[in-house]
Each structure stands twice: as C-alpha cells, then as structure tokens.
Amino acid sequence: MNSYRIYRVAVAAVVAAVLPATVAADDGGDKPHRELARYESRVEEAIDHGLEYLAEQQKEDGSWAAPHLEGNTGIVSLGVMAFLASGYTPGTGPYGDVIDRGIDFILDNAQENGMLLGTATSHGPMYSHSISTLMLTEVSGMVIDRQRQQRIDEVLPKAIGLLLSAQQVRKREDHQGGWRYQTDSTDSDISCSGWAMMALRSARINGAPVPAESIEQAVRFVLNCRHPSGGFLYMPGSPGSPGLARTGTGLLCLKMGGRRGDEACAAAGDWILQNLPDTFGGLWFYYAIYHCSQGMFQLGGDYWVQWAEHMYDLVLPNQRDDGSWPTTTGGEQRAGANYATAMAVLSLSVPLRQLPIYQR
C-alpha cells in the first residue's frame, strides 16, 4: 500500500469517527450510523475498482468515451469529480495525472464567451457547461501546476458570468431564477437549474463574487417546482407526478441554498423514502441516485441511513468485473459506461465528504 493510499484511508477513518457527532449537530438525531458499518469494506472496494476502471478508460486528450456523446464536457467533469469525491487531488497521488488531463480537456474546450462545451451535448449546452463550471470551482485552488491554475483563473470567471447572465433572462414569474438548455432560454427546469445552482454555490464558497440574491432566486424557482405531495416536478405546474431524480435535485438545492430547517426538506426526504426504486436501472437511474444520495446525506439521520441501505443494495451487486457499472435505459444509454461508473462512484462516496460543495 503506497503512502498516498495510507493517507486516504486515514482520512476516511477520521470521517467515519466524527460522522455520528456531525449528524447529531446537523439534524438533532443522536443515532450513529452503525447500520451502515456492514457496507464499509464493500463500498470502499467498489469505489476503488470503479476508479481503476475510469483511469484505464481515460483517453489521451483527457476525455472519456461515450457512445453518442463523444467529447461531452459534462461527462468528463463528472469523471474528474469521481476522483475528487474519493479523496484524490490534482497533480498528486496515483490519479493526479488523470485529474489534470480531465481539467485540461475542459479548459481546452472553453469558448471565448465562457461556454464550456465539447463536441457533443445532451439536450443543450447549459447542462455540460454547468457541470463543468462546478468541477472547475471545486478544483480551483487545489491545482499544483501554476500555469494550469492561471488557465482556470482566466476561464472560470467567464463561465460563472455566463451562468449569472443566463439566469437574468426575462421569463414568466414562476420560471424566473432558473435555467434551461440554452443561455437565452425563456423557461426553466429543475434538472438544469440544479447543476447551475450548485456551480454558483460552489463558486461563492470559493470566494467568487456571486451575489447571494442569485442563490436565493434559484431557491425560489426550485420551490415553485414543489408538488403538494412533497416531491418535485420538472417545471412549475408540470402535469403528472413528481420524480425521484427531480425530488433529489429539489432537496439538494434547498439544503445547499440555506433552507436547512425548511419543512420542504423533510417532506422531500419523506417522499423519497416512500418512492424508493424497486429495481436496479430504469429511466435516469444514475442521475436519480446521485442527487438523492447527496440530498439525503445532507438531510442526515435516518433519512440517510434508510436511503443508503437501499442504494447500496441496488448499486453494489451490479458492478461488473472490470469495475464499471452498466448503462440502463433512455438518455443514459447515450452517455455510456464511463458516465454510469462516474455517477455510481459519486453516489457511493458521499460520506467521505471530499467535495467542498457537498460538505455539511
């Protein structure tokens, strides 16, 4: 075991030791997560095996292959964040070069107007742009190479500025404050808005001049998507019932937006527990478990324990021998196994709390 790996294990042990006290301070509960102890070694092994797969699959230009989304900056950024969420950092340790190459791919695809866009998009450029902006805000300040950090310093303010200007496009009142597929979209959806809000929240935490009102506007839009059942809809007043991915996004946005004691958070957590996925896979499965894992961990206590047990039981047995996870149905098939593996690792690594934006 190399010294970096020993360091990472030590960090994980410290996190596990302080977790019960953190939960008690966060949500008033005093129940340690003993229920999850039986999963610890399996989760760690799955994460390590998944990262080994991603490192092997990374292309020379820093990207990861996707069947119908080759060169998508969002997928590359999710891949980078999978390593960051597991405690690895740019330029150091066994995956330092992997992370650096991924960062460089995003920087190489930065457009003059600030858009972070590769050669393929899903739905529209704001998805990839928001996810990539979030990744850059998370690594800014961690990067060892001065020239790479200088490039981030040049690219990131433009990327953040593009998100801020897109939010201010004139829209219907209940859509104001959110984002959608294009920079000039005149409507908003909770999915695209969730990534954009996380990017701005991370930027603000990292010292960027993001107005507090921008975060509050985004929170108000998210609340406009709330359903009477406690779940969240795709858009304000959308027909049909709430969805798991949308509700996880809504919960995470409220928590990250400062509404920690809001009744809407507990109601969203209750909705998720009442609508747990029955089987592995399905429409937007990885997207859903990612957001629900992040949101339910923020909610803490029994919400996290019940969700984590269910999520582990679905995800862990379905990892393939090579360390990857299979794509399921719909749009995620277009993204491929590298996307699926990055999202699975991000969901499993939530308790490590290595990504600054998602720390309690």
323-352 tens-digit pLDDT: 999 987 667 877 789 999 999 999 999 998
Return phi, psi of residue 116, to 5°. -100, 95
Q: What is the mean pLDDT of residues 46-50?
A: 98
What are the start-end ranges of the E strands in 46-101?
A: none
- pLDDT for 298 equals 94
CA–CA distance, 81 with 87 (Å, rounded to integer):
10
Longest Cα–Cα distance of the chain, Å, equals: 57
- Please report how many Cα atoms fall inside a 13 Å half-sphere around the Cα of residue 51, on the Cβ side: 24
pLDDT (tens digit, 9 = 90+) per residue, 263-321? 999 999 999 999 999 999 888 899 999 999 999 999 999 999 999 999 999 999 999 99
| Residue 122 binned pLDDT confidence (cut-offs 50, 70, 90) | low
Q: Give the rounded percent of residues in the chain with a pLDDT score beyond 90.
A: 77
Nearest to residue 86, comparing CAs of 293, 358, 351, 357?
Answer: 351
Angle at 336 between CA 330 and CA 340, to 5 degrees: 90
Is the pLDDT at 28 greater than 50? The verdict is no
Is the pLDDT at 237 greater than 50? The verdict is yes
How far is Cα of residue 135 from the mean position of the Cα atoms in its chain?
9
Both tokens assigned to 150: 């200088």
Q: Give the rounded percent of residues in the chain with a pLDDT score beyond 70.
A: 89
- CATH number for the domain formed by residue range(s) 3-358: 1.50.10.20
Tokens 């779940």 belong to which residue? 231
- pLDDT for 20 equals 37
- pLDDT for 360 equals 65
Is the pLDDT at 10 greater than 90? The verdict is no
Q: What are the distances in angstroms from CA 196 to CA 127, 201, 238?
A: 8, 9, 21
Nearest to residue 37, comparing CAs of 335, 312, 354, 340?
Answer: 312
pLDDT (tens digit, 9 = 90+) per residue, 135-170? 999 999 999 999 999 999 999 999 999 999 999 999
Nearest to residue 45, comparing CAs of 299, 319, 265?
Answer: 319
Please enumerate in sequence order all residues whose Cβ is within 8 A of that of 123, keeping only pairs 6 or more positions apart, or say none: 181, 192
- pLDDT for 70 equals 79
| Residue 121 binned pLDDT confidence (cut-offs 50, 70, 90) | low
Looking at the DSSP assignment, which residues form a beta bridge with residue 110?
116
- pLDDT for 317 equals 97
Is the pLDDT at 173 greater than 90? The verdict is yes
- pLDDT for 120 equals 62
Helices (H), 229-360: 244-256, 263-274, 285-299, 301-315, 331-335, 337-348
pTM higher than 0.95: no
Is the pLDDT at 17 greater than 90? The verdict is no
Nearest to residue 156, comparing CAs of 138, 178, 182?
Answer: 138
Mean pLDDT of the chain: 89
CA–CA distance, 282 with 320 (Å, rounded to integer):
17
Q: Do 275 and 308 touch, CB atoms closer than 8 A?
A: no
